[in-house]
Amino acid sequence: MTTPPKPASRPDRVSLWRYMMLFRRDILSAQPARLYRAWMAEFRTPFFRSYLCNDPALIRRVLKERPRDFPKSDRIGEGLRPLLGNSVFVTNGAVWERQRRIIDPAFEGGRLRDTFPAIFAAGQSAVARLPEGEVEIEAEMSHAAADVIFRTLFSIPIEHRLARQVFEAFRDYQRSQPILNLAAFLPLPRWMPRLHRRQTKASARQIRALITALTESRAAEIHAGTAPDDLATKIMTATDPVTGDRFGTEEMVDQVAIFFLAGHETSASALAWALYLLALRPDYQDRVAAEAKALGDTPDFAALSKLKFTRDVFREALRLYPPVPMMVRENACPEEMRERPVKPGAQIVLSAWHLHRHERLWPQPDAFDPDRWQTEAGRVCGRDAYMPFSQGARVCPGAGFAMVEGVLLLAMLVGRFRFDALPDHVPIPVAHLTLRARDGIRLRVSRRDL
């Protein structure tokens, strides 16, 4: 088994100012090593308390048993609001429930099958586009994942003018957007400006303007009866079964922004790390390539059932490198957690990064071992200590979509190419909008003998 890299942990005690600076730069290396063994840890600031919970029973309480008592924290959402507006990612309560009633049917199993041809076409384009030699694989996977989103959402490839512009604007946004802004640490009143960076706000405005153009064009096609039957059409024509409402243009722009962020950023991260992990283990890579041969030239949705080991590789990549490494909730009621009183308004941090590598839960937690998913211990941990897409009512509606996309593209790429690690390049994970490598992931790519 191979032990891939993880970031260095900070000392147990640092000043609040130092912690804030570390957190803004990278939330993973800002955390102490003891969190890989702790069931719960308390962090104090002058303005609020945070409790990181690794205890599976506490995670079930927050995400599955009483999710309404633990709404999403605005401290995280504030940093993303210039781009995401009032999207399903940042809302709570009745607003969020209405949004999910409209969105969820588009991602149900039967409709997910309808997206398979578009995902396969994006995979073919990725295979045709991938160069040989030394390649920065994160950039290539960002391109591929963006292509999947545009093909499945708006029936256009990444080469389409507006799709290309959104993709390029989003790269600018990534470079300027820290994971948190000042509102995450200070109790700012609602009227006070959030101090977003000027470049961040400009990039967000540009992205939203481009998405508005796509959305308005699709609304006109729906009105004319010429719209393709893709995810955008399904969502824009869906009605809330309770109120009969549909999304207006502004609401749809909010939702498309989070679909692009969640569907593009997270998939790109997971695919890049999966390819790096396979580059460390050529024997695992050959097993994926052998499964890929079973796909044939024109596979259908049922062909995914033949990619069992590839699916376990992707699940293991999501375990070791969860694209969204931390989630933050806020308790609305007085709580007692592991015999500690927790006052309302505390920040409840659920860290997939630490849970997935927890030394008391996972056998050999830092090892890359796809075969663990076929063991009883792996299945138990997968049920109790695995949440790459969250859990419960707020589980990502596109979780099934992401698994289809990730497994299919991974098989198609490894079936055509061999990926080798570079001995002088060890990618170090850092958390920004999603989990990425500090200096990218460079691999040597060569065409596989077929």
Q: Which two tokens stand for residue 239?
A: 């009605």
Q: Which of 121-125, 163-167, 184-188 has the highest mean pLDDT?
A: 121-125
For residue 394, pLDDT beyond 70: yes
Q: Which pLDDT band holds residue 281 (cuts at 50, 70, 90)?
A: very high
Identify the residue with better confidence: 139 or 180: 139
Cα–Cα distance between 378 and 237 in angstroms, integer? Answer: 41
420 CB-side CA count, 13 A: 11
Q: Which pLDDT band holds residue 79 (cuts at 50, 70, 90)?
A: low
For residue 49, pLDDT beyond 90: no
Instruction: Give the list of residues 6+ apart from residue 103 with CB closer than 8 angstroms, or none.
Output: 88, 235, 238, 255, 397
Average pLDDT of the chain to the nearest whole number: 88
pLDDT mean over 399-408: 95
Q: pTM of the prediction?
A: 0.91
Question: Which helix (H) or strand (E) covers residue 173, if one does?
Answer: helix 161-176
Q: Which pLDDT band holds residue 182 (cuts at 50, 70, 90)?
A: very low
Residue with tokens 């490598």: 437
Structure confidence at residue 195 (pLDDT): 46
* Identity at 430, one-letter amino acid code: V
Whether the CB-CB separation of 148 and 119 falls below 8 Å is answered with yes
pLDDT mean over 45-62: 90
For residue 104, pLDDT beyond 80: yes
Residue with tokens 């990725």: 126
Angular region, 281: left φ>0, alpha ψ -120 to 50, beta rest: beta
Domain ranges for the chain, please list them: 16-447
In the chain, count H helices and then E strands.
Answer: 17, 11
Cα–Cα distance between 349 and 423 in angstroms, integer? Answer: 36
Whether the CB-CB separation of 311 and 407 falls below 8 Å is answered with yes
pLDDT tens-digit map of 17-46: 455 555 556 677 767 889 999 999 998 776
pLDDT tens-digit map of 294-341: 888 889 999 999 999 999 999 999 999 999 998 999 999 999 999 999
Whether the CB-CB separation of 373 and 8 falls below 8 Å is answered with no
Whether the CB-CB separation of 182 and 194 falls below 8 Å is answered with yes
Structure confidence at residue 48 (pLDDT): 77
CB-CB neighbours of 373 under 10 Å: 19
Cα–Cα distance between 397 and 144 in angstroms, integer? Answer: 21
Which CATH superfamily includes the segment(s) 16-447? Cytochrome P450 (1.10.630.10)
Structure confidence at residue 23 (pLDDT): 56
CB-CB neighbours of 238 under 10 Å: 17
Q: Which pLDDT band holds residue 190 (cuts at 50, 70, 90)?
A: very low
* Identity at 346, one-letter amino acid code: A
* Identity at 84, one-letter amino acid code: L
pLDDT mean over 393-417: 95
Question: Which helix (H) or strand (E) covers residue 13, if one does?
Answer: none
Please provide the size of the chain in residues: 450
* Three-state SS at 274: helix
Cα–Cα distance between 7 and 28 in angstroms, integer? Answer: 7
Structure confidence at residue 189 (pLDDT): 44
The contacts found for 298-302 with CB under 8 angstroms, 24 or more apart, are: 299/120, 300/116, 301/113, 301/116
Angle at 124 between CA 123 and CA 128, to 5 degrees: 115
Q: Which pLDDT band holds residue 77 (cuts at 50, 70, 90)?
A: low
For residue 214, pLDDT beyond 50: yes
Name which of 204, 130, 219, 215 is nearest 169 in CA terms.
204
Identify the residue with better confidence: 306 or 264: 306
Q: What are the DSSP E strand ranges found in 40-95?
A: 40-44, 49-53
